[in-house]
Structure 1
Amino acid sequence: MSSDRAHSAPPATHDEIPEEDAMLLSDDAANSLPVEPPPRIAARFRRPSTTRRKSSAASSRRNSFSSQHSHQSNRSLRNSCQSHHVAQHLRRTSILETRKARLADRAVHAEQVRLRAAALAKAPSRSSNSEERALAAQQARERHLAQVAAACAEEVRKAKKVAEAMKEKKAAEERRYRLEMEEKHAEAERRRQEYKRNTRRPRTGSSPTTDSPKKPVRQPLSQDAAARRIQAAWRARRRRRIVEAWSELGLSIDKVHDSSFEDITVLLKDDKVEETTGQIMSLLNLLSGEEDASRRQAVRTFLAAYLILGHPAHIFTRDGDQEQDLITKAKDLIISFESALSKLTASNYYTPSPTWLETVSMTYGPYVSAFNDWKALDSSALIETMIASFVNLDAIWQTIKDGDTVDEVANEYRNGIRDNQAILLSKIKKLAGPERALVLIRKAIRESRRARPKKKPSGENARPRVAIDTPAAASAMAEENAARQTQTATSQLAAPESPRSDASQQATSLAKLFTNVPDNRELVHELSIDSEFRIDPSPTADLRDALYRELCSGMLEAFETGDSATWTVAMAELIRAKLLHLLKPGNSLYSLIEETVDPELINNQCRQGAFSYDKFFEFMASILPKLCAPFRDAEVKALADELQTEGDLPEMIEKVFKLLHIIDLLSLDYSNFLLSTAAPTLIQEAPGYEQRMFAHDLESGRLTLKRTRRWWRSAAVNMHTEADRRDPWNNEASPINRPTPQKIYARGLVDLAIATPPLRESELPETLRLDYDRLSRMRAEALRIVTIGGILLTAKNLLKRDVRSQWRPEANRLWETLKDGFLNDPTNPSKVLSLIESAHPMPPSTRAQLQATITRLLTQAESGRVSDPVTKVLFQRLKTNVFNRVSASSSGERVRAASTATEGLATTGLPEFVGQVGDMVDLLGKISVVDRSAHGKWYEEIAEEMERLSTDGEELSRTPSAGSSTTE
């Protein structure tokens, strides 16, 4: 019953969920529960728990049956008088059971720990591995910490650097702000003072007075204040006009860049532009305390910044570090200058602030310093170039003055050379100063004239002596010999040589091997090109000496075998013939030699054993000084002293050899003397003689004009191709686009001379076959010039030097080093590098790079191929320079071309070879004059033929065909 009532009792209204113990209470206990107040009233007396209990695990003492029972029993004790015995017993039992379970768990855990410790103690190797791992971990940790520390140090350093930069920036901004604030305070103070000086209207009430308003009375200004106010207004107006004048010019970097270099140069040279620039620079305190000359120079230096930024390619000849630094500083100057101008407005009375004045001044100073440094280097190279031009003109005048030039032509050359030298002298004085300019020019001219090749002995010094008693007789003898040679030469040149038989031609060819004298045509051709031409013994000297050696060897063998008479008579007859050839019959010395050196007399003396070689040599020693020219005195005297000494048989035979050799030299001197005497007549008759001989060869079929036509056609095609490239619209009215025959000839001649060797026989026209050796030599010299120029240009670029600077000592030494060949000596690349490095030290990397370039260029030059881009460009520029000078038609054009040739070579990269190029141009000019005077008729025929063929081809191309006209 009680249990049923308990189950049927209504649920408790307490906030907590009733536990199971509460449900098991008796009905009495349930009926004895107090009545719960309403929720709104109970909420006032209920204390909220600070912590809310959460359900714990099943082993928790609070969830146990005893805990629940104890809790319920406690509640029941408050409501009813119930014993505490059962609850305490149950609680104690629960606590004991819980502690036992916990102790059992601890015992199990302790046993597990003991087992693991025993296992670890039984395994010592694992402990060592653990120590190693711990040590490795420690090292890794330390390494990681070191890396972290380094990274942190780097970050700290960067942070410090940024902080310092920000600090400096903030300090600069602070200074700038301070200056601006000071300016604002000064302006405010000025305005306040001005406001205080002005009379202010007194304060009045808001309501108008009945009295009439009075005008404020201004206090009169003092004279000083009025003067200051007027001056301030005038200065502001003046500054405004300066700024407006500069704005009207419209000068800016964009305008300079968009305009052509010539137009901007003309604009900047205007006096108005210079005056306005000077005023605006004075406004910005850039010309304070400058004199007139210095002021003008400063203005030009400032305006040069616009040219440098707008047209750097026209200003600089190279792109080095100095040029880049100058461009950077010019850019900074112009930017700061334009920024300062933009701040000049009416609000500040066109007055620049101290900050902007300082900024412009700080950029202007470094720019002027950099500009002066660059100008000094540039002016030194320019001075060297102009001095070289001056010396080149002097060398041309010396050549013309010493040569056989017509007086009118010589006067025209002299006037043109003097005019150009005066212009160069004035420019050199401006750059180097009057005194230094004269010193440099005198020194250069002295060295140039000293380096000129010495003239060959001429006049009385080269004239052979003859046994003449009186000077009158000697003069008559010379005139007679000259007349005889002139008559002989004229008679030989009057008509072409007659055909000869094959035997005669073979005998003539064999005789040429043992003679120094060339044939008539070659002789007159050489004299036409060089009036000082003399016969050179070197081509056949070795052959003749070898022949004399064979004769002396045979003579020695004959003496040893006892057959000396025949050889003695033969040698005496040979020496007698050679000596008598030097004299005219009837001369006293001629008669003496003829009587003394008589072959029959010597033959009889040899048979009788009365011939004495000592007396023979003594006679030769007495007469040779009377036959030789004065410049041979030293050689002849040495031989005479040797002939008078005694010796054995081999020494005697050696004396015979030397006697034959010196007599050949005396014969050569005599032939050269006769040639110099007859040279004026031969030169005068040379063009007609060459023309007749060439016509005779053409008629006989020994020569044709096949190669000449091909050579002319190639030159004409090249000239017309260049003309079409200059004028793609084919403007035939322009004279420059219609090459003249003279231009075509000059182009063909330069193409033959300025090219890579060797010169093949098929390339040479028949008209220039006598100049084969000259053209071949010029090809070799051109290749040597380009090779050395390429090496020096590469060295200058690697060392950041100006390409216009003249390394003449290095070039001269390289010229002599490479004279006999490029790679004939394997040590040539090392020699070339050492020559350059001795004057211009360089780092190892630059040295290695230059060594590779030298080896490559010398290898290409040795093979006759020019494949390097640098040498290709130099070869083309050298050819253009030579062509411009050779193709000049008048003497004035030649002088102008010569005066600008040095500058052209300097900008080309070959400033060291002005002399060599000038010699090549002079030689090509002489070849051109002689060749066209002798073969001009055939050149005109070929030119007319080519013109006619081209005209017929054009007409044929313009005329429509028959089929096309029918179709139309």
Structure 2
Amino acid sequence: MDAPLSDSEAEMVITQTNDDIPEESDIMLSDTENGQIYAPPPRIAARFYRSSNSRRKSSAPSSRRNSISSTHSHQSNRSFRNVCQSNHVAQHLRRASILETRKARLADRAAHAEQVRLRAALAKATPRGSNSEERALAAQQAREKHLAQVAAACAEEVKRAKKVAEDMKERKAAEERRYRLEMEEKLADAERRRAEYKKSTRRPRTASLSPTNESKKAIPGHTLTPEDAAKKIQALWRSRWRRNVVGAFVELGLCIDKVHDATFEDITSILAEEKLLSATSKIMSIFGLLTEGDVAANGTAVRTFLSAYLILGHPEHVFSKDGDQEQDLIRKAKDLVISFESALPRLTAYNNYTPAPIRLETVILAHGAFITAFNDWKARDSSAIIETMVATFVNLDAIWQSVKDETVDEVANEYRMGIRDNQVILLSKIRKLVGPERASLLIRKAIRESRRARPRRRPAGDVRPRLAMESSSPTGSVTSAEVTGLEAEAASQLAESQRTATTDGFQAREITKMFSVMPHNRILVHELAIDKDFRLDPSPQAELREAMHRDLCDSMLKGFENGEGNLWTMAMAENIREKLLRLLKPGNSMHTLISEALDQEHISTQLNQGLFSYEKFFSFTASILPKLCAPVRDAEVKALADELVEEGPLPDMIEKIFKLLHVIDLLSLDYSNFLLMNAAPTLIKESAGYEARSFAQDLDSGKTTLQNTRRWWHNAAVNLHTEADRRDPANRPTTDKIYARGLVDLAIATPPLRDSDLPETLALDRVRLLRIRADAVRITAIGGILLTAKNLLKRDVRSPWKAEAARMWDTLKDGYDATDAALSAKMLSMIESSHAMPPATRAQLASTIARLLTQAQSGKLTDPVMKVLFQRLKTHIFSRISASSSGERVRAASTATEGLATTGLPEFIGQVGEIVETLGRVAGVDRRAHSVWYEQLSEEMERLGQEIEGQGQTGGERSIEA
């Protein structure tokens, strides 16, 4: 056992231990009589259990050795030194052990830290590629993959071209061998006749014997065998059959002159007659143009052969355009008909009605060339037809997607049945042309692209304020209080602004002089009825509000420089307080917090005492804005909050207030849209009645009249009755037709839209009608440019150039600047990038583009192409708008794609569909709200017509009596 320690050594050990190990507490002896050890009191233990990382001061007042507890413990230890000497030794040993343990643990930690440092250094030293290198590598791989795909496609095309070339080479070699054999046979026959002629001796110049005697000398006692007799009979029968076939075909009188003189309908019916088809089939078998045994193929070959006459006689009815391929097909048909009609009269009894080898060869070659050209033309024409039918199928699917959730069940079922029937018919036709698998692939791809291109609606939860989401009911039902509050939002904001302006000073009046984004109640209800997902948009007044905020902040800065900072601070704080409180309901904890923190009296007291701090004000707003904003505003609010907590000079402080006002306006907009979303079902349900009552009140108060509406209805009725009298006087137009005609005449016209032309019932749709007018002119301009390019390049006008049309559509969104040469060059380059053209064609197309853009800019469509396209577009939209039942609408939509392709606008199926859908919604809302006045106008027109008709009859009777 170690020797006992002296008093000074024990005291030194205790002091060193207390200094080195602050986490451990001293064990104190409180009872000397029984020798028990008790734990120190909590107040004393708290001094010994302080954190190790806290730095201990060496000053006397804060020193632990000078504390009362430490002095008391030291004196206690000295007073009981002799009694508890062994306990101090044990305590010293135990603390030494603790020191060793901690030293080992610290050594382990140091070793672990060294390992971590080494691993970090190793990881840092390990070479790795940067993000740019990874992106470059990924781009290189994608490029190699794309090049491989292109190479594979090119290899496939080259393989196909080689196969065609080899087939052509083999066919030419076979024809050459056949020609060589025929020539060798002809030479051998000529050589044989020459040898026979040399062998036969010349007959002496004596009188010729009679034919009877000569024949008797030639075949004395000759008799035919059964085989020779059968051959002669078969030859005679075949000759007679061919004579009858040629006679029957010639008797029909089919020739190119007859086809040209007859009308297209007559010649079509003639060529479809069974008698002509049978005679043509037989005459083609004489020329070897049909294959034996294949009845279906022979029927197709006969109809293809007769189509050569139809193509030569009526090319304008057969072809939709005059391109190079069409001209080549006309030339091949002409060669076939000429060779056939020149060989037909040579079929006589002299040659047993058998065509000569040379003429037969000419007909066969001309027929083969015509069949090849016809199949190529038909394949390209069928591809355009397939694209049109697929586009129609997709258009029907888009219509179903737009109406399935927005109509009642009965109407939706009727739409679904009509759309499904038309899609089944289209699918069967597409499958016949390209096969089932190819048809399914084309339709799936087209529908996927169409649905992907349709604008996706933003989820409602992204723009809901957080406190509004917490306070809203789970079912999302709308209470009457919310609806009432929504409808009165504009009035309450105006009243609040006026009240604030009267109570506060000049600065408050300047701050509250703002325009609200909440429109008039009638406008709000009208927009919701047309689009149930309508949301408030700050864009109409955003620039004005930003300018006013900027002027306000500039005035505030000048006020601070002039010593009016307290007044501006109170006014600005009150303005921000009112804006924030509008986002909350009274009684809410956040509402109470904002009211108390931004109280006017409290801020005034702080300003008078010089205690107001903008740093605390900005910190407070930065802490509450994330709790009020919607999730979609998190990034913007976080950026503002980080900027608000930063300190800066006076101009930076004013800029922070400007940004704070902007963000609070966005939060107010989100809250208004949230209330609007909740109230939308109720407002839409009552929209027709509310709009009718509002319009009736305006009529009664004299704010509006029906003067423009009466003139608009009269013009539409007169135009429609005039067309009906010209077409079918017995078919009188209905009220629905008159309304559709007036709406289309109003929407599909050139800008601008004058106030006198706009009916009072459609006054709320002025912006929408202007947009439709601009879209119609843009469609016509781009369609005219593309149609001119197709005609100059001799391409099919029905084939859609969607890529070029889409790029032009985006380019002309900003307007038409005909004087800008760069715009015309850009439009030309969009076509030239995918369709090569000679310099002359390029110059002509450039001048056409400049001329069409000038007319589109001025709104005067004088070019014949523009006028025709615009009128066709108007007729097409009217035919779809005037459809009264859902079945008629589906039928009109199913033929819309084909109609636009025939019109020359196959690239604008989507844009025209959007125009029709918008006008349909406008018409539905307008008719439900203003049907009473439209019926009155219709009755007035009928009475006026009856009066005019009666006056005319009376005048006629008077004239007869006179």
Instruction: Normalising by structure 2, report the TM-score.
Output: 0.72
CA contact (8 A) 1:513 1:540 kept: no
CA contact (8 A) 1:322 1:374 kept: yes
Q: Residue 426 of structure 1 is aligned with which of 425, 428, 440?
A: 428
How far apart, in 1, do the equivalents of 2:869 and 2:949 lie? Answer: 37
Is 1:556 aligned with 2:557? yes
User: How far does the alpha carbon of each residue in 1:148-186 deviate from its partner, in whole angstroms, 9 at most, with x for none?
Assistant: xxxxxxxxxxxxxxxxxxxxxxxxxxx9xx99x98x999
Query: Secondary structure, in 3 states, of the residue corresponding to 2:796?
Result: coil
Q: How does 1:757-768 map to 2 (within 5 A)?
A: 757-768=751-762
Is 1:911 aligned with 2:906? yes
CA contact (8 A) 2:486 2:676 kept: no
Q: Provide closer, same or farther for how the CA distance between residues 843 and 957 of structure 1 changes in structure 2, counting only shifts above 3 A.
A: same
Q: Residue 324 of structure 1 is aligned with which of 316, 323, 327?
A: 327
Q: Which residue is equivalent to 1:795?
A: 789
Query: Secondary structure, in 3 states, of the residue corresponding to 1:912?
Result: coil
How far apart, in 2, do the equivalents of 1:620 and 1:278 lie? Answer: 93
How far apart, in 1, do the equivalents of 2:668 and 2:326 lie? Answer: 65
Q: Provide closer, same or farther for how the CA distance between residues 511 and 245 of structure 1 changes in structure 2, counting only shifts above 3 A.
A: farther
Q: Provide closer, same or farther for how the CA distance between residues 290 and 583 of structure 1 changes in structure 2, counting only shifts above 3 A.
A: farther
Q: Which residue is equivalent to 1:157?
A: none
CA contact (8 A) 1:886 1:921 kept: yes
CA contact (8 A) 1:527 1:683 kept: yes
Query: Secondary structure, in 3 states, of the residue corresponding to 2:440?
Result: helix
Matched letter for residue 307 of structure 1: L
Give ranges in structure 2 of 5+ residues lacking alignment: 1-182, 198-210, 503-510
CA contact (8 A) 1:512 1:518 kept: no
Is 1:834 aligned with 2:829? yes
Q: How does 1:411-422 map to 2 (within 5 A)?
A: 411-422=413-424
Larger Rg over CA atoms: 1
Q: Which residue is equivalent to 2:73?
A: none
Q: Which residue is equivalent to 1:885?
A: 880
How far apart, in 2, do the equivalents of 1:488 and 1:813 lie? Answer: 46
How far apart, in 2, do the equivalents of 1:811 and 1:675 lie? Answer: 38
| Worse overlay, 352-361 or 530-539 | 352-361
Q: How does 1:389-404 map to 2 (within 5 A)?
A: 389-401=392-404, 403-404=405-406
Q: Which residue is equivalent to 2:74?
A: none
Q: Which residue is equivalent to 2:809?
A: 815
Q: Which residue is equivalent to 1:351?
A: 354
User: How far does the alpha carbon of each residue in 1:526-546 deviate from its partner, in whole angstroms, 9 at most, with x for none?
Assistant: 111111111110011111111
Q: Which residue is equivalent to 2:947?
A: 952
Query: Secondary structure, in 3 states, of the residue corresponding to 1:888?
Result: coil
CA contact (8 A) 1:877 1:908 kept: yes
Is 1:484 aligned with 2:465? no
Is 1:651 aligned with 2:652? yes
User: How far does the alpha carbon of each residue in 1:828-875 deviate from its partner, in whole angstroms, 9 at most, with x for none?
Assistant: 222222222222222222122112111211112222211111111111
CA contact (8 A) 1:467 1:588 kept: no
CA contact (8 A) 1:758 1:776 kept: yes
How far apart, in 1, do the equivalents of 2:592 and 2:880 lie? Answer: 57
CA contact (8 A) 1:628 1:666 kept: yes
Matched letter for residue 698 of structure 1: L
How far apart, in 2, do the equivalents of 1:203 and 1:948 lie? Answer: 106
Q: Residue 860 of structure 2 is aligned with which of 844, 865, 870?
A: 865
Q: Provide closer, same or farther for how the CA distance between residues 512 and 423 of structure 1 changes in structure 2, counting only shifts above 3 A.
A: farther
Q: Provide closer, same or farther for how the CA distance between residues 849 and 963 of structure 1 changes in structure 2, counting only shifts above 3 A.
A: closer
User: How far does the alpha carbon of each residue in 1:427-485 deviate from its partner, in whole angstroms, 9 at most, with x for none?
Assistant: 33333444443333333333322222232x3432232211787xxx6426954x54422
Q: Which residue is equivalent to 2:920?
A: 925
Matched letter for residue 905 of structure 1: L
Task: Give the C-alpha shift of residue 313 in structure 1.
Answer: 1.9
Task: Give the C-alpha shift of residue 771 in structure 1.
Answer: 1.1
Q: How does 1:194-209 map to 2 (within 5 A)?
A: none
CA contact (8 A) 1:794 1:850 kept: yes
CA contact (8 A) 1:467 1:587 kept: no
Q: Which residue is equivalent to 2:301?
A: 298
How far apart, in 1, do the equivalents of 2:427 and 2:213 lie? Answer: 80
How far apart, in 1, do the equivalents of 2:912 and 2:403 lie? Answer: 17
Q: Residue 287 of structure 1 is aligned with which of 287, 290, 297?
A: 290
Task: Give the C-alpha shift of residue 519 in structure 1.
Answer: 0.6
Q: Which residue is equivalent to 2:53?
A: none
Q: Provide closer, same or farther for how the CA distance between residues 352 and 718 of structure 1 changes in structure 2, counting only shifts above 3 A.
A: same
Q: Residue 897 of structure 1 is aligned with which of 872, 892, 901?
A: 892
CA contact (8 A) 1:336 1:360 kept: yes
Q: Which residue is equivalent to 2:473?
A: 475
How far apart, in 1, do the equivalents of 2:640 and 2:321 lie? Answer: 62
Task: Give the C-alpha shift of residue 230 in structure 1.
Answer: 5.3
Q: Provide closer, same or farther for how the CA distance between residues 345 and 937 of structure 1 changes in structure 2, counting only shifts above 3 A.
A: farther
How far apart, in 1, do the equivalents of 2:938 and 2:377 lie? Answer: 52
Task: Give the C-alpha shift of residue 552 in structure 1.
Answer: 1.6
CA contact (8 A) 1:705 1:765 kept: yes
Instruction: Normalising by structure 1, report the TM-score.
Output: 0.71
Q: Which residue is equivalent to 2:454?
A: 452
| Worse overlay, 599-608 or 876-885 | 599-608
Q: Provide closer, same or farther for how the CA distance between residues 290 and 315 of structure 1 changes in structure 2, counting only shifts above 3 A.
A: farther
How far apart, in 2, do the equivalents of 1:279 and 1:557 lie? Answer: 105
Q: How does 1:357-396 map to 2 (within 5 A)?
A: 357-396=360-399
Matched letter for residue 793 of structure 1: L
Matched letter for residue 575 of structure 2: L
Cα RMSD over matched residues?
3.8
Q: Which residue is equivalent to 1:30?
A: none
CA contact (8 A) 2:818 2:854 kept: no
Task: Give the C-alpha shift of residue 283 in structure 1.
Answer: 2.6
Task: Give the C-alpha shift of residue 824 in structure 1.
Answer: 7.0
CA contact (8 A) 1:482 1:674 kept: no
Q: Provide closer, same or farther for how the CA distance between residues 863 and 221 of structure 1 changes in structure 2, counting only shifts above 3 A.
A: same
Matched letter for residue 619 of structure 1: F
How far apart, in 2, do the equivalents of 1:205 and 1:399 lie? Answer: 97
How far apart, in 2, do the equivalents of 1:534 and 1:445 lie? Answer: 28
How far apart, in 2, do the equivalents of 1:204 and 1:248 lie? Answer: 39
Q: Provide closer, same or farther for how the CA distance between residues 923 and 608 of structure 1 changes in structure 2, counting only shifts above 3 A.
A: same
Q: How does 1:632-711 map to 2 (within 5 A)?
A: 632-711=633-712
Q: Provide closer, same or farther for how the CA distance between residues 692 and 483 of structure 1 changes in structure 2, counting only shifts above 3 A.
A: closer
Task: Give the C-alpha shift of residue 516 in structure 1.
Answer: 0.8
User: How far does the alpha carbon of each residue in 1:677-716 deviate from its partner, in whole angstroms, 9 at most, with x for none?
Assistant: 1111111111111112222222222222222121112112
Task: Give the C-alpha shift of residue 352 in structure 1.
Answer: 3.0
Task: Give the C-alpha shift of residue 929 in structure 1.
Answer: 1.1
Q: Which residue is equivalent to 2:467?
A: 466
Q: Which residue is equivalent to 2:544?
A: 543
Q: Provide closer, same or farther for how the CA distance between residues 468 and 796 of structure 1 changes in structure 2, counting only shifts above 3 A.
A: closer
Query: Secondary structure, in 3 states, of the residue corresponding to 2:686?
Result: helix
Q: How does 1:212-231 map to 2 (within 5 A)?
A: 219=223, 221-222=225-226, 224-225=227-228, 227-229=230-232, 231=234
Matched letter for residue 410 of structure 1: A
How far apart, in 2, do the equivalents of 1:777 and 1:468 lie? Answer: 36
Q: Residue 784 of structure 1 is aligned with which of 778, 788, 801?
A: 778
Task: Give the C-alpha shift of residue 752 in structure 1.
Answer: 0.9
Is 1:309 aligned with 2:312? yes
Task: Give the C-alpha shift of residue 241 in structure 1.
Answer: 5.7
Is 1:770 aligned with 2:764? yes
Task: Give the C-alpha shift of residue 608 in structure 1.
Answer: 2.5
How far apart, in 2, do the equivalents of 1:405 and 1:601 lie? Answer: 56
Q: Provide closer, same or farther for how the CA distance between residues 529 and 339 of structure 1 changes in structure 2, counting only shifts above 3 A.
A: same
